[in-house]
Amino acid sequence: MAQKRTSAVLIAAVISSAMIVPTAVAAKDAGDILVRLRGIGFMTDTSGTTDTLGGSARTSDAYVPELDFTYFITKNIAAELILATTKHSVEVKSSSSGDLDLGTVSLIPPVLTLQYHFLPAGTISPYIGAGISYVIVAGHNTGRSATSVSYSNEFGYAFQAGVDYRLNDVWSLNFDVKKIFVDTDIRVNGGAINANNTDLDPWVVGFGLGYKF
């Protein structure tokens, strides 16, 4: 009987060790780098008007791939940088001259956030974050309602929430939501028409696969 109890204890210890060791290896820890490839929806929440024709500024949504890098300063605190390029149609609806087609604009909206990971050793590891964004105009095409259009590069700020689901020691799935607050100044026809402080304020919703180094 004593031998059976000893064997049972040993088996339980082995099973416990087998469960504990992978968790320890897979846990997020200081110095880890997590690289993710996500598909994102860059959904603008645009508001603004022109100074001479009135109307409401509008921009289309974009759905693109995105690459991001997360560096763990401690097991709970990390910094994340996301990189993507988005393209949007721009128009002014219901102006005094009707609907205005301003063409398209391509943006590079890098976002740097500082995150707190609540359960770095868990299979399910949620986090929150906050940081800054700098929206860069990478290029644009002028629409049929204008002879020239320009956009200003601007700083903004961002809030973030997400969760990692660990598949094994290095691979994980990720779901992430960001709200970015940023505006831009739009100059049409050399400044004859302006839509200053046009809010873009996008929601960025992403799902993807991560690899931990």
Domain of 20?
Answer: 2-212
Q: What is the pTM of this model?
A: 0.82
- How many angstroms separate the CA atoms of 161 and 178, rounded? 7
Instruction: Please report, rounded to a whole number, the percentage of residues in the chain having pLDDT higher than 90.
Output: 83
Q: Model confidence over 163-196: pLDDT tens digits?
A: 999 999 999 999 999 999 999 999 999 999 999 9
Q: Please give the pLDDT value at position 19.
A: 39
Q: Model confidence over 36-87: pLDDT tens digits?
A: 999 999 999 999 999 999 999 999 999 999 999 999 999 999 999 999 999 9
pLDDT at 34 over 70: yes
Q: Please give the pLDDT value at position 11.
A: 36
- How many angstroms separate the CA atoms of 73 and 129, rounded? 14
Q: Please give the pLDDT value at position 23.
A: 39
Show Cβ contacts of residue 3 under 8 Å, excluding neighbours closer than 6 positions. none
Per-chain mean pLDDT for the chain? 88
Q: Model confidence over 132-151: pLDDT tens digits?
A: 999 999 999 999 998 999 99
Q: Which residue has the higher pLDDT, 14 or 191?
A: 191
178, 135 Cβ separation under 8 angstroms? no
* pLDDT confidence tier of residue 27, bands split at 50, 70 and 90: confident
CATH number for position 52: 2.40.160.20
Q: How many domains does the chain have?
A: 1
178, 111 Cβ separation under 8 angstroms? yes
